[in-house]
Structure 1
Amino acid sequence: MVLGALGVCALVLGWRALDLQVLQHDFLARQGDLRNLRTEPLAAHRGVITDRANRPLAVSTPVTTLWANPREVLAAREQWVKLSNNPVLNSRTLSQRVEANAGREFIYLARHLAPEQAQQVLDLRVPGIYALTEYRRYYPAGEVTSHLVGFTNIDDVGQEGIELSMDNRLRGTPGRKKVVRDLHGRVIQDIAVLEEAHPGSNVTLSIDLRLQYLAYRELLAAVTRNRAAGGSAVVLDARTGEVLAMVNQPAYNPNNRSGVQTAALRNRAITDVFEPGSTIKPLTVAAALESGLVSVNSTVDTRPGTIRVANKTIRDHRNYGVIDITTVLTKSSNVGTTKLALAMEDHALPAFMEHFGLGTATGIPFPGESDGMLPIRSRWRDIETAALSYGYGVSVTALQLARAYAVIANGGIKVPLSLEKVDQPPQGERIISAEHASALVSMLETVISAEGTARRAKVPGYRVAGKTGTVHKLTAAGYADDRYVALFAGIAPAEDPRIVTVVVVDDPQGQDYYGGLVAAPVFGSIMAGVLRTLNIEPEQPVGTYAGVIDREGRL
């Protein structure tokens, strides 16, 4: 009987084994897979953004995100007590999140945690709480490059700057893999990669991080010193069209944007427009030269220091008398440029400025770039032409003004601007003759001299050229009497022009507000650092200019 009973048991076990391993194999395997086999995403990091020397400006770092299946968590309420005093995820927060989403199978609990933070929760082994790997963007240069590089949101999608404009290139393509999880939700085996993850493409910008730091430091100091509302500075390579530096104030830290004001997010060098004032006068002189109206040696009678156009009196600082074309720029004569503009054919001056790129976007791939404003009129009144000649009635961005000066610095050729590093100088379009471009640089050198309006823009050891501008701010009530924009646009080295720098200081509230006193010193400091950093040899020994420049520009 005992042997018979054992035999029956053996038969039963054998049949059960046959039933499980053969007859129900497919069903049971499928049920096992449903309980333990999972398909998980393979995160793909964004491409790296670097400067022209491959210094990192934006990188992706792996982080851990905690998520939960509310149904599983609710079924294990007795386990919540483990999270009572957890600094990363406490039981009260867990209760609120899962009870509000009880019908769902996936919710985020905490995103972008450091791995050690997430492990403090995972080690408690609360059923229904899991982890996945994501990537978070980090910006090593912080606020120095914030307006240019921009930032991404929590889902790693570009929101501002290069991160937004080149999002399609930078964004990676996530993959999928099949894994086996145990009862605690831990991955115990990788089965197969279903789809490979493809990281985003890297982007190499044209900026030089060393020059970016330099420009940022000098602009910040000037805005603080003059209690200004803001400011911008742009540094261009006139030959290649590359943007070597672009900074703004106020700035923000892209790694911690809590409490950031919306106004601080603007890249003012590209989005904000202003009337360029006297910085536009070299273009008026260039138009007069190109039209054959005057030559380099021609003279203009500015007596008695005023001119009446329609119902407006246009004034110089004093009566300069009969002066040559160079002195028109040296002394920044409004009367001189007005007479040149009125002697041209109708539409000649605005058409010429349009060739320089005023009133049109630069074409760089950057979100929110302003076109500026160059009026289109069937007929220009004399007062409108006169105002245009000395920089009113037209609006530009700092980058557009830099592009216009780059034409002069590049021998009269306009090249496309670029925020990405270029290997070969692009083909350009000739705007003015090389002879006239060279003459303009020589004229603008005199502005930096003792007789000019920008003595404080001097760079020790180098010949520089440029033009100041001081513009009344336009408000809802008209032009303000006591609010200004201080400007300086310059070129260096003058004997072999290569670098163009534009400085804009918005609404300075200190003792000084003239472009020659507020913006010109910033230009001098930035340009001095740029020329040394790029190893451009000085024409004269630095000791030639040793000394201190006082408020009046005397050495």
Structure 2
Amino acid sequence: MSGENRTPLVPPWRRAVVMLALLALPVALLARAVSLQVLEGDFLQGQGDQRHLRVEQLSAHRGGIYDRHGRPLAISAPVESIWVDPGMLLNAPGEGAIDRIAEVLGRDPAALTQQIEARTAREFHYLRRHVDPAVAERVAALDLPGVYLQREYRRFYPAGEVTGHVLGFTNIDDRGQEGLELAYDDWLAGQPGAKRVLRDRLGRNIEDVERLREPQPGRDLTLTLDKRLQYIAYRELKAAVERFDAAGGSVVLLDPDSGEILAMVNQPAFNPNRRSDITGGRYRNRAVTDVYEPGSVIKPFTIAAALAAGAVTPETKIQTSPGVTRVAGEQVEDIRDFGELTVTGVLKKSSNVGAVDIAMGLEPGTLWRQLNELAFGRPTGVAFPGEAAGHLSAMPSRRPFERATLAFGYGLSATTLQLARGYAAIAADGRLPMPRLIQDQPAEPPQQAMPAELAATLREMLVSVTRPGGTATNAAIPGYAVAGKTGTSRKAVAGGYAAGRYVSTFAGMAPADDPRFVAVVTIDEPGGGDYYAGIVAAPVFQSLVSSALRLHNIPPDAAPDDQALTIARGGDR
């Protein structure tokens, strides 16, 4: 059948090969499965885990700061921050991923794209820290690959600028940068924790695998400050600085027995809740960092040295006429001729001539030793960052004019806190306390800086300063005996003293018989025609300490005649 088509025969060996291949395929697949699941399982699982398991940090809650009555002064609130994996976001499926996130953040899409493209080599980049909850919710709702939220904490200061200089502030990572936030950062910060998480191919967390380390929250800090008195001090100081167009000012209020600082404020102030307020000149705590020549507020210590040496008594007569004297060819003068004064009258009228006459009658070094006993020229030990030591010469000077100027508060420098500590010794029967800002901080035993009887005598003499005829009648508090001293010193500049630039200070205590409060008010460069401390600084003391006496229910101690005194407007040098 030559014309018929024939089907070619398949060689038997070919069929055998095909059958063998079909039989070998399941065996190969089974062998591969065994290899993947059994022999290489652990290795491959580890490789997979490396691509999908991540370790994330768990932020620790920063400890709070509270006043002596438990009122919050600094707290940390949980917030969300937005971060991205730049490469993943740029390669996100679909279009407009960056445009959508830019719209939520109020950013220009082109600028945001440029920012992300510049960081494609990284796997982590913050888009925005500490966003509002509403913004965080909108970002989460977008569900974009490579865009994540991270829980952090933001510091908040309920009292704002009232406590800003004492507390300082933290940076965006919640670490202390100034003030007590810096000084006690390790105490407040705590220790962050860590957890291992499983992520999907889009980089989203789908499972918390394990906690590697629990976060350890920071410890709370309780201060000696009384928030009520802190606010009153802030209000009164701010009003005075504005009224007299001053460059700044400071107030320190403390308990003379314990050394606890009840209020410490400065002007100009800053609000630590507003980053724009945090500029170099505004956030320093002037009460502990700024020094100046205190002027006549040093005169009580001059009198103390003379009384201790037995050179004078409170009733010793001092001739100050004609209101001017010369020492080593240099002239020292009073604002007017006070005539003959008692030693108490020298304080009452704030006579420079009288103070110099008393000091020059002492052995060289007598006044210096008294000031050294009161720790002038040394830090107070309050452990505040940037505290200044002030200046007192290392050895007493034998030069007559330097001895003379020291008698009325020139030739040394001090901070407002150092002055408050010195006056606390007068208030606490000669015991010099260690100023404290931390409630539970162990207090060192006070040093006896002068005899108790001498301190009591000084308090009696200083009461005259706030009574009619004295330089600080504006510091008088009806119903209470107030002891204190004014000081109006010229500001030192290169080459001498600046014309028309003064620092006005009032330092005092109440009730005078058994002082519960010591306060020092410093007004820096009051403008206009009024610059004497009795006009500028004394009223701030009066408002603050009268409020403190009322809030602490301290009973009046003045005689009925004293309570009826009319408070007159006074002035001082």
TM-score interval for Structure 1 and Structure 2 normalised by the shorter chain: over 0.9
**1:146 aligned to 2:164?**
yes
**The residue matched to 2:465 in structure 1 has which SS?**
helix
CA shift for structure 1 position 435: 0.6
| 1:190-231 deviation digits (Å, cap 9, x = unpaired) | 221111211122111111111100000000000000010100
- For residues 444 and 81 of structure 1, the distance between their equivalents in structure 2, rounded to whole angstroms, comes to 73
Question: Structure 1 residues 548 and 181, CA, compared in 2 at 3 Å: closer, same or farther?
Answer: farther
Alignment partner, residue 6 of structure 2? none
Alignment partner, residue 32 of structure 1? 48
Alignment partner, residue 500 of structure 2? 482
Alignment partner, residue 272 of structure 1? 290
Alignment partner, residue 85 of structure 1? 103
Contact 2:104–2:135 (Cα < 8 Å) also in 1: no
- For residues 333 and 425 of structure 2, the distance between their equivalents in structure 1, rounded to whole angstroms, comes to 29
CA shift for structure 1 position 463: 1.3
**The residue matched to 2:486 in structure 1 has which SS?**
strand
| 1:39-69 deviation digits (Å, cap 9, x = unpaired) | 1101112211111111111111111111122
**TM-score (structure 2 length as normaliser):** 0.90
Question: Structure 1 residues 100 and 424, CA, compared in 2 at 3 Å: closer, same or farther?
Answer: closer
- For residues 176 and 402 of structure 1, the distance between their equivalents in structure 2, rounded to whole angstroms, comes to 47
Amino acid at match of 1:457: A
Contact 1:80–1:126 (Cα < 8 Å) also in 2: no
- For residues 439 and 378 of structure 1, the distance between their equivalents in structure 2, rounded to whole angstroms, comes to 26
- For residues 489 and 35 of structure 1, the distance between their equivalents in structure 2, rounded to whole angstroms, comes to 69
Contact 1:172–1:200 (Cα < 8 Å) also in 2: yes
CA shift for structure 1 position 83: 3.0
CA shift for structure 1 position 297: 3.5
CA shift for structure 1 position 94: 3.4
Alignment partner, residue 334 of structure 1? 352
Alignment partner, residue 70 of structure 1? 86
**The residue matched to 2:77 in structure 1 has which SS?**
strand
Amino acid at match of 1:278: S
Find 2:477's aligned residue among 449, 454, 459: 459
**The residue matched to 1:441 in structure 2 has which SS?**
helix
Alignment partner, residue 512 of structure 2? 494
Q: After the TM superposition, which of the residue ranges 459-468 and 537-546 deviates more from structure 2?
A: 537-546
CA shift for structure 1 position 72: 1.6
Question: Structure 1 residues 10 and 378, CA, compared in 2 at 3 Å: closer, same or farther?
Answer: same
- For residues 513 and 481 of structure 1, the distance between their equivalents in structure 2, rounded to whole angstroms, comes to 13
Find 2:71's aligned residue among 41, 45, 55: 55
- For residues 424 and 22 of structure 1, the distance between their equivalents in structure 2, rounded to whole angstroms, comes to 65
CA shift for structure 1 position 6: 12
Question: Structure 1 residues 239 and 455, CA, compared in 2 at 3 Å: closer, same or farther?
Answer: same
Alignment partner, residue 128 of structure 2? 110
Alignment partner, residue 22 of structure 1? 38
- For residues 531 and 147 of structure 1, the distance between their equivalents in structure 2, rounded to whole angstroms, comes to 25
Alignment partner, residue 227 of structure 1? 245
**1:343 aligned to 2:361?**
yes
- For residues 379 and 84 of structure 1, the distance between their equivalents in structure 2, rounded to whole angstroms, comes to 70
Alignment partner, residue 214 of structure 2? 196
The percent identity for this pair of structures is 50
Mapping of 1:311-326 within 5 angstroms?
311-326=329-344
**The residue matched to 2:187 in structure 1 has which SS?**
helix
Alignment partner, residue 272 of structure 2? 254
CA shift for structure 1 position 268: 0.8
| 1:136-180 deviation digits (Å, cap 9, x = unpaired) | 111111000000000011122211100111112112211111112
Q: After the TM superposition, which of the residue ranges 105-114 and 14-23 deviates more from structure 2?
A: 14-23
Alignment partner, residue 182 of structure 1? 200
CA shift for structure 1 position 10: 7.9
| 1:460-500 deviation digits (Å, cap 9, x = unpaired) | 22111100111112223522232211110001111211210
Alignment partner, residue 401 of structure 1? 419
Question: Structure 1 residues 413 and 540, CA, compared in 2 at 3 Å: closer, same or farther?
Answer: closer
**The residue matched to 1:64 in structure 2 has which SS?**
strand
CA shift for structure 1 position 20: 4.3
Find 2:542's aligned residue among 500, 512, 524: 524
CA shift for structure 1 position 74: 2.7
- For residues 112 and 486 of structure 1, the distance between their equivalents in structure 2, rounded to whole angstroms, comes to 43
Question: Structure 1 residues 136 and 548, CA, compared in 2 at 3 Å: closer, same or farther?
Answer: farther
| 1:347-385 deviation digits (Å, cap 9, x = unpaired) | 221121111121111111111111111123564211111
Question: Structure 1 residues 550 and 464, CA, compared in 2 at 3 Å: closer, same or farther?
Answer: closer
Provide structure 1 residue ranges, at least 5 long, that are not aligned to the other structure.
none
Question: Structure 1 residues 543 and 255, CA, compared in 2 at 3 Å: closer, same or farther?
Answer: farther
**The residue matched to 1:67 in structure 2 has which SS?**
strand
Question: Structure 1 residues 74 and 87, CA, compared in 2 at 3 Å: closer, same or farther?
Answer: closer
**1:384 aligned to 2:402?**
yes
Alignment partner, residue 310 of structure 2? 292
Contact 1:88–1:121 (Cα < 8 Å) also in 2: no
- For residues 297 and 541 of structure 1, the distance between their equivalents in structure 2, rounded to whole angstroms, comes to 22
Alignment partner, residue 170 of structure 1? 188
Q: After the TM superposition, which of the residue ranges 196-205 and 296-305 deviates more from structure 2?
A: 296-305
**The residue matched to 1:201 in structure 2 has which SS?**
coil
Contact 1:170–1:200 (Cα < 8 Å) also in 2: yes
Question: Structure 1 residues 543 and 386, CA, compared in 2 at 3 Å: closer, same or farther?
Answer: closer
Question: Structure 1 residues 422 and 26, CA, compared in 2 at 3 Å: closer, same or farther?
Answer: closer
Find 2:465's aligned residue among 447, 450, 453: 447
- For residues 408 and 52 of structure 1, the distance between their equivalents in structure 2, rounded to whole angstroms, comes to 25
Contact 1:88–1:118 (Cα < 8 Å) also in 2: no
Amino acid at match of 2:261: V
Question: Structure 1 residues 333 and 150, CA, compared in 2 at 3 Å: closer, same or farther?
Answer: same
Contact 1:240–1:424 (Cα < 8 Å) also in 2: no
Amino acid at match of 1:64: E
- For residues 265 and 445 of structure 1, the distance between their equivalents in structure 2, rounded to whole angstroms, comes to 36
- For residues 107 and 22 of structure 2, the distance between their equivalents in structure 1, rounded to whole angstroms, comes to 56
Amino acid at match of 1:252: F
Q: Which has the larger radius of gyration?
A: 2
CA shift for structure 1 position 5: 13
**1:211 aligned to 2:245?**
no
- For residues 538 and 29 of structure 1, the distance between their equivalents in structure 2, rounded to whole angstroms, comes to 81
Provide structure 2 residue ranges, at least 5 long, that are not aligned to the other structure.
1-19
Alignment partner, residue 9 of structure 2? none
CA shift for structure 1 position 188: 2.4
Contact 1:445–1:466 (Cα < 8 Å) also in 2: yes
Question: Structure 1 residues 454 and 544, CA, compared in 2 at 3 Å: closer, same or farther?
Answer: closer
Question: Structure 1 residues 333 and 543, CA, compared in 2 at 3 Å: closer, same or farther?
Answer: closer
Question: Structure 1 residues 550 and 64, CA, compared in 2 at 3 Å: closer, same or farther?
Answer: same
The count of corresponding residues between Structure 1 and Structure 2 is: 552
- For residues 212 and 50 of structure 2, the distance between their equivalents in structure 1, rounded to whole angstroms, comes to 17
**TM-score (structure 1 length as normaliser):** 0.93
CA shift for structure 1 position 319: 3.3
Contact 1:83–1:90 (Cα < 8 Å) also in 2: no
- For residues 102 and 177 of structure 2, the distance between their equivalents in structure 1, rounded to whole angstroms, comes to 37
- For residues 297 and 116 of structure 1, the distance between their equivalents in structure 2, rounded to whole angstroms, comes to 74
Contact 1:204–1:420 (Cα < 8 Å) also in 2: yes
- For residues 518 and 431 of structure 1, the distance between their equivalents in structure 2, rounded to whole angstroms, comes to 30
Contact 2:506–2:537 (Cα < 8 Å) also in 1: yes
Q: What is the root-mean-square deviation in Å for CA atoms of aligned residues?
A: 2.6
